[in-house]
Amino acid sequence: RNATATIFKSEEVEDLLSPYIASFSSRGPNPVTPNTLKPDIAAPGVNVIAAWTQLNPISEIEDDKRILPYNIISGTSMACPHAAAAAAYVKSFHPNWSPARIKSALMTTATPMSSSLNPEAEFAYGAGLINPVKAANPGLVYDISEADYAEFLCGEGYTSKELRILTQDKTTCKGKDNEKAVYNLNLPSFAVYVNDTFSGYVYHRTVTNVGSANSTYKARVISSFLLGIEVIPDVLSFTSIGQKKSFSLTIEGQINVEMISASLIWDDGNYQVRSPIVVYGS
């Protein structure tokens, strides 16, 4: 009857295991297009206070009649708003950027996560934990045009008739190198599904300078000794904003494990533009 309470100062407690991916979160690989990495990125989605309908109680427990305008929720339905807000935040700084540029900025500036805490590695967290502040100033971006997407869909087996339903023009799949279009889609990540006939892959990518006008980026590869990864050229020099430079990334090796993680980092001393690389088998 005479209960008392003490209000203490706020205390920040560091969780040494954080961040890690919840057990219920979906994992890769991509079942539709094995040579594209999924998921793209990770975002907060566990025990998030969010708005809640007052037409239902806050739990599924029998006889729970509590009705509140908020609840503590977990799931991709919580991570998605974080990612969408981060994209909107980046868009506010760069209103003319395409969705592909924004996605690239979010992925290449993400905070790397630990595979020791997440055995599925990139198939659990993609490029890493989203970092909206860094994403607003990524240095380089991987952009994708409508024509690039059309070639990709041709490579995925779309017919010219099916493609035109999407493009609303006379785009055709004839005369295109459809197989290469799939893994050469200008994504800020690299995924390689290998089988018994695997002898190597050569990826082609193009980056656009959105950082310093005069800058020189050097390629740095972090990889297992089981893989041979070569970047040509391994130095990209820019003289203006918006300038584009292309490079190839070759992956070779004898793969005798289920999955190998690696990464490519373009570094000019100020920006570190990181792309995940995943090589995996059945």
Do 107 and 165 share a structural domain?
A: no
Q: Which domain holds residue 124?
A: 48-144+186-280
Q: What digits encode the pLDDT tens for the residues 13-30? A: 887 778 889 999 999 999
Do 225 and 164 share a structural domain?
A: no
What are the percentages of helix, strand and coil residues in the chain, rounded to 5? 20, 25, 55
Torsion angles phi and psi, residue 157, rounded to 5: 105, 5
pLDDT of residue 175: 64
CA–CA–CA angle 190, 123, 35 (5° rounding): 35
Inside any domain, residue 135: yes
Looking at 160, 184, 208, which one is the last position of a domain?
184
Looking at 158, 184, 210, which one is the last position of a domain?
184
Do 275 and 197 share a structural domain?
A: yes
Rounded mean pLDDT of 24-53? Answer: 92
CATH number at residue 251: 2.60.40.2310
User: Regarding predicted confidence, which is higher, 193 or 40?
Assistant: 40
| Total number of domains constituting the chain | 2
Inside any domain, residue 35: no
Rounded mean pLDDT of 154-167? Answer: 89
Do 198 and 267 share a structural domain?
A: yes
Q: What digits encode the pLDDT tens for the residues 61-116? A: 888 889 999 999 999 889 999 999 999 999 999 999 999 999 999 999 999 998 88
Q: What digits encode the pLDDT tens for the residues 247-258? A: 999 998 877 778
pLDDT score of 282 more than 90: no
